[in-house]
Structure formats: C-alpha cells, structure tokens
Amino acid sequence: MRHIENDERITAMTEQATRRILREPVDRVLGKLPLVGKLMIIGKRNGVTHERIGPVETVAAEAEWIFCRGGHHDSRIDPALVAVIVADTSSVMQGQVYPRLDFNDEQGEAVFSVVGFDGLEPFEAAFAGLCLETAEIDGAKPERPERPNVADNDPGLKPLNLAIETAQPVVIAFSGPGFDQSWSGIVEKVKPAMGFINVMTSDFHLHLLGGAVASWVEREEIGATTFYALDAGQKEIGLNVRLVAAASN
C-alpha cells in the first residue's frame, strides 16, 4: 500500500513538474541546501560539465559572493547574475524523483544547477514555505544527440592522462559567468563514452565534450603545473587542471 501511495505522489508531483521560485533572494534558496541531503552542484559551459556530489554543509555570503562548502563541495556563486530560479521535479529514474533547481540568467541559461539525490521528500521539506508559482513544462525533452566517439588523440585527454601516469593529486576547476567550483583528488581512470571524456568518482564527475578542447596553455607554478583549456579560437573555455609535481627521490 505504501509503495502505491509513493507512486501516486510521484505521479502527482511530476504532472506539475516545473515551478518558478519567485520573490525569493538567491541566498535564501541556497541557504536551504544543507536540508536537501546528498546533492549535485553543476556548472556547465563550452562543452564542460563539472559536477560536485555530496551534502552541502555550510552556505555563507562573503562580499558579493555566496559560498557552498563542505567535505564534498567548494562552490562560489554571484547571485547578481541569477534572474530566475526554476524548480523541476520531472526527472524520475527507477521510481525516484531527482528534483532539480536551475539558477538561470536573464537569457534563460543556467548559471549553475542543483540536483537532489535523496528523492522528493527532503527537497519538498527544505523549500516548504517559499513562494512558488506553478508553470507548464515546456513540451517534451529534446532527444540526446548522437555524438561521435572521442578520438584517441583528443587534446582534452592530455592533462588527465598525465594525472593517471603520475598518480599525484590534481585540482580540476571550472569557471563560468557568476559561478566557479573545484575538486581535488586522484584521477584513477578516464573513460571516454557517448562522445564525452569522463572522470567519475564518488564525489565528482567531469564530462568534457570530445573536441571541445583544441589545446592547453601550461603555466608552471611552485610545485605544480596548471593546464588551461582553449577552444579552436584560442579562448579559454573555463576548465583548468592543476597537477602537483611528483616528489623527487
């Protein structure tokens, strides 16, 4: 009986799936994230998708920025670039809702996004009382395009393969308008699939579109080398990889 009730509740929520949070400051919405449980904060730009996974422990405003921090998060947000926040509960996989918040700019592009991993109930409880306006879903979701396999010599692989060879800690950082975040750890595996170069750990995913990187600018630092990704027009795309130098014997 409980399983049926849960299914009915999921159906009811996804029938009115997309809602806009209106008249709520960004800092108030972000301040609720520690109540959501395990979640993913996503930055996406220029063929780079940078995802941090885990609970947010603290949300703090410092000068013009808002910081989401914790053992699994290190994100910095400029709330001035967010024009509207869209809550979407239409994503259901294996009977569980993965609710999503898109923090969009004036052009409707996501500055960053948040996806909850612990289902609908903690999401609904966290944002209860906020001013929500129901909006219609914008039709069917577009089909995922077919993408060619990542070439073995794709330039995007270079610093990631070096990270595997050296087995030294790396920092993979993303920067876009109004948002940046980083991850540090050991890259144990790089898996090209579905047209993307993928690094996947328990608390971090990087999905780099094949061909998005044409070359890298390398800058030497004390004890490290940082690679900055460039597109075909030699413009930075918002991804950099910092490799710590291996200790000499």
Last residue of a domain, one of 134, 168, 186: 134
Share above pLDDT 70 across residues of the chain, in percent, rounded to a whole number: 88
Distance of alpha carbon 18 from alpha carbon 135, whole angstroms: 6
Task: Specify the pLDDT at position 24.
Answer: 87
Mean pLDDT of 21-31: 89
Distance of alpha carbon 231 from alpha carbon 218, whole angstroms: 14
Last residue of a domain, one of 69, 102, 134: 134
- With 80 as the cut, is the pLDDT of residue 13 above it? no
Do 200 and 91 lie in one domain? The reply is no
Task: Specify the pLDDT at position 246.
Answer: 62
Q: Considering only residues 125 and 12, tell me which one the structure prediction assigns the higher pLDDT.
A: 125
Distance of alpha carbon 72 from alpha carbon 91, whole angstroms: 23
- With 60 as the cut, is the pLDDT of residue 173 above it? yes
- With 80 as the cut, is the pLDDT of residue 100 above it? yes
Taking the CA of residue 151 as centre, how many other CA atoms within 13 Å lie in the half-sphere pointing to its CB? 10
- With 60 as the cut, is the pLDDT of residue 11 above it? no
**Residue keyed to tokens 């996806």:** 115
Query: What is the span of the domain harbouring residue 161?
Result: 155-244
- Whether 232 is in a domain gets the answer yes
Among 84-93, 177-186, 230-239, where is mean pLDDT lowest? Answer: 84-93
Task: Specify the pLDDT at position 89.
Answer: 85
Distance of alpha carbon 129 from alpha carbon 23, whole angstroms: 12
Chain-centroid distance of CA 200 in Å reads 12
Do 91 and 167 lie in one domain? The reply is no
Do 57 and 180 lie in one domain? The reply is no
- Whether 159 is in a domain gets the answer yes
Q: Considering only residues 246 and 236, tell me which one the structure prediction assigns the higher pLDDT.
A: 236
**Residue keyed to tokens 């800092």:** 27
Distance of alpha carbon 199 from alpha carbon 172, whole angstroms: 10
Mean pLDDT of 140-157: 83
Do 92 and 171 lie in one domain? The reply is no
Of 235, 231, 161, 169, the C-alpha closest to 192 is: 161
CATH of the domain at 115: 3.40.1570.10
Do 113 and 160 lie in one domain? The reply is no
Do 188 and 96 lie in one domain? The reply is no
Q: Could you report the per-residue pLDDT of 197-222, keeping only the tens digit for each?
A: 999 999 999 999 999 999 999 999 88
Do 191 and 229 lie in one domain? The reply is yes
Distance of alpha carbon 174 from alpha carbon 16, whole angstroms: 33
- Whether 149 is in a domain gets the answer no
Task: Specify the pLDDT at position 4.
Answer: 38
At residue 126, the 3 state secondary structure works out as: helix
Distance of alpha carbon 54 from alpha carbon 203, whole angstroms: 6
> CA angle 126-24-102, nearest 5°?
70
Task: Please give the mean pLDDT across all residues of the chain.
Answer: 88
- Whether 249 is in a domain gets the answer no
Paired residues of 13 in beta bridges: none
Structure tokens at 98: 């993965």
Last residue of a domain, one of 134, 166, 191: 134
Please provide the DSSP assignment of 17-83 as one string: -EEEE-S--HHHHHTTGGGT-EEEEEEEETTEEEEEEEE--EEEEETTEEEEEETTEEEEE-GGG--
- For residue 142, the one-letter residue type is P
Q: What are phi and psi of 158, to 5 degrees?
A: -55, -60
User: CB neighbours (10 Å) of residue 232?
Assistant: 10
Q: Could you report the per-residue pLDDT of 123-132, keeping only the tens digit for each?
A: 989 998 888 7
Task: Specify the pLDDT at position 55.
Answer: 97
Do 57 and 107 lie in one domain? The reply is yes
Cβ–Cβ under 8 Å, residues 178 and 77? yes
- Whether 150 is in a domain gets the answer no
Do 224 and 159 lie in one domain? The reply is yes
Task: Specify the pLDDT at position 10.
Answer: 45
Do 182 and 110 lie in one domain? The reply is no
Task: Specify the pLDDT at position 94.
Answer: 85
- For residue 19, the one-letter residue type is R
pTM of the model: 0.89
Do 113 and 213 lie in one domain? The reply is no
Mean pLDDT of 94-103: 91
Q: Could you report the per-residue pLDDT of 41-98, keeping only the tens digit for each?
A: 999 999 999 999 999 999 999 999 999 999 999 999 999 999 999 998 888 888 888 9
Q: Considering only residues 90 and 150, tell me which one the structure prediction assigns the higher pLDDT.
A: 150
Task: Specify the pLDDT at position 3.
Answer: 42
Distance of alpha carbon 210 from alpha carbon 213, whole angstroms: 8
Domain count, the chain: 2
Do 188 and 226 lie in one domain? The reply is yes
